[in-house]
Amino acid sequence: MAAALLSRRLDELGIRAKVASAATASPGMGASAATIAVMASRGIDLSGHRGMPMTTAALHEAEIVIVVSRECLDAAIAMAPSAAGRVFVFADLVRRAQRTTPRQRSESMTDWLRRIGGGGAQRSRTLAGAATADDVPDPRGRGYGAYEAAAELLSGLVESLIAACWSSG
């Protein structure tokens, strides 16, 4: 859901960015019926979506890696420790971004992440196995309303990230 929402919103704003989705569990699986329905209500078709596995190569290539839970953060850092300064739980990234001025057009993603506190290996040791307060609640097995709530939370995080990271500054 997060990648689809971010990708669509960036497209709507005419912002060119590569957004990819990767799964830490059940790669190759399609989106659930509830996910498809919730996203369809937002004008996004995920009926053909298949989860791609998170790979070391993808983690090394990405300028920024946004995950929805501490569990995914731990998995990404374990897979590619050198990417630790670029891997963030979505809510934590937004909170860090809101504590400072938005990223400027002339500022690289790397410099912005460093400015908001990427911190690399030290940050990964601090966060690995940390509390799950920033996690997007996993809606699996919890009914349609849980999927709707997750999509709403993710939509808000997308808007906040765009305001901080792709501002007109």
Spatial neighbors of 68 by CB under 8 A, at least 6 apart, are 2, 89, 90, 135, 136, 154
Q: How confident is the model at residue 47 (pLDDT cuts 50, 70, 90)?
A: very high
Q: How confident is the model at residue 168 (pLDDT cuts 50, 70, 90)?
A: low
pLDDT score recorded for residue 25 = 67
* 102-131 tens-digit pLDDT: 888 889 888 888 888 865 444 544 554 456
Q: Is the pLDDT of residue 28 over 80?
A: no
Domain parsing of the chain, residue ranges: 2-165
pLDDT score recorded for residue 145 = 94
Distance CA 168, CA 16 (A): 14
CATH number belonging to the domain at 2-165, selected among 3.40.50.2300, 3.40.47.10, 3.40.190.100, 3.40.50.2000: 3.40.50.2300
Q: Tokens representing 27?
A: 């790669």
